[in-house]
Amino acid sequence: IAVGIGHAVTGKKDLAVKPAVNSQAKTLAEMEDNWESFSFAPIRESQVSRAMTRRYFADLDNYAESDIVIVGAGSCGLSTAYILGKKRPDLKIAIIEAGVAPGGGAWLGGQLFSAMVMRKPADAFLNDLGVPFEDEGDFVVVKHAALFTSTLLSRVLSLPNIKLFNATTVEDLITRPAPTSADPHAVRIAGVVTNWTLVSMHHDDQSCMDPNTINAPLVISTTGHDGPFGAFSVKRLVSMQQIEKLGGMRGLDMRTAEDAIVKRTREVVKGLVVGGMELSEVDGANRMGPTFGAMALSGVKAAEEALKIIDE
Ligand code: AHZ
């Protein structure tokens, strides 16, 4: 990796930071019993700052035009990203997650218990990821939900064509006119409007803090069921009169809910595919509670639907 040479603002030569030479490369075994003589390689604070900001701003520049934006990095959004990013290294995929920590509700099972349950055939997704599980017949159990989520995250983040922007909220959708004979006011979705989440949370008590944008021919929304942040895109579709009203998530019925969510994962308006529990708000589908197979397989279906649209 090329390391830039940093200079202090004074411009004085003696403050210049030398390029790092990896002279201190050591194995962990070599460090053992040698702590008296131990020291880290040298650094200047500005090098750390530049190492982070240079990459972040390059990513902001690069992903301002993305092929696909995924809104929400919960179990469905991350599953979608995993399948898409792996299948199609040619596509540039931005994930926008409002929280600092990606993963949505998938760090624990039901009622904050550790284990995560997935009904078959979602075990196929776990096998693909390489997450071990116990087989209980019709369903499988991962010993800790965090094992699923951390493995999925590490696979997604390792893909070179995916960038996760966390602590960033999608505040609005970019639209373009796409009139049809049935609806002269119809639009297609053409990207997202973003802001730092902390800024989004303070629009009521700060004067105008304008957002940023990402253009993309396809947005996949997986923002979960209604709540402080949830069901974002589909609620916006109602207020911009692209769908008449939301069905409203119905009560818990695991059997009905999981099949419905996977089967109904689709392009809801042109340019916007919806997956995971956000769909239950559109269609008035049941919730499933703490069983996550539908989130993984809705992600697989969302990726498939997205590729059909992208390749059209
Ligand atoms: O922070 C949210 C979470 O990580 C994020 N999000 C929501 N609105 C956003 C916005 N901009 C950016 N405007 C946003 N990010 O979206 C993520 C949603 O994750 P989730 O785990 O809530 O949803 P999911 O559909 O992936 O998984 C649902 C899991 C559930 S809920 C449920 C039940 O209530 O019965 N059962 C299951 C399995």
What is the per-residue DSSP string for 59-74?
HHHHHTB-SEEEE--S
Which range, of 122-136, 218-232, 282-296, averages the lowest pLDDT? 218-232
Q: Is the pLDDT of residue 16 over 50?
A: no
pLDDT tens for 102-134 read: 999 999 999 999 999 999 999 999 999 999 999
Mean pLDDT of the chain: 92
Report how far ligand 1's centroid is from the alpha carbon of 169 (Å): 13
289 is in an annotated binding site: yes
* pLDDT over threshold 80, residue 304: yes
- 85 pLDDT tier (thresholds 50, 70, 90): very high
- Check residue 21 and give its pLDDT: 57
Is position 240 annotated in a ligand binding site?
no
| 210 assigned ligand-binding residue | yes
**Does ligand 1 come within 6 angstroms of the Cβ of 106?**
yes
Interface confidence, given as ipTM, is: 0.99
Place of tokens 């390489």: 130
32 or 176: whose pLDDT is higher? 176
State which of 80, 97, 174 you would mutate to test the pocket of ligand 1, scoring each by most atoms of that ligand within 8 A of its C-beta: 97
Residue 153 has pLDDT above 90, yes or no: yes
The strand order across the sheet containing 139-142 reads: 116-119, 139-142, 134-135
Write out the DSSP string of 17-49.
PPPP--TT---HHHHTT-GGG--PPP--HHHHH
What average pLDDT does range 277-291 have in this prediction? 97
Is position 76 annotated in a ligand binding site?
A: yes
Q: What is the Cα–Cα distance from 79 to 259, expressed in whole angstroms?
A: 17
Mean pLDDT throughout 259-270?
98
* More reliable by pLDDT, 165 or 203: 165
CA of 278 to the centre of ligand 1 (A): 7
What pLDDT sits at residue 18? Answer: 53
Ligand 1 center from residue 284 Cα (angstroms) = 17
Please work out whether the CB of residue 98 comes within 6 Å of at least one atom of ligand 1.
yes
C-beta 72 within 6 A of ligand 1: yes
Q: Which letter, b or e, does each residue of 126-161 get, where b requires 16 or more Cβ atoms within 10 Å of its Cβ?
A: beeeebebeeeeebbebeebbbbbebbbebbeeeeb
| Cα–ligand 1 centroid distance for 276 (angstroms) | 8
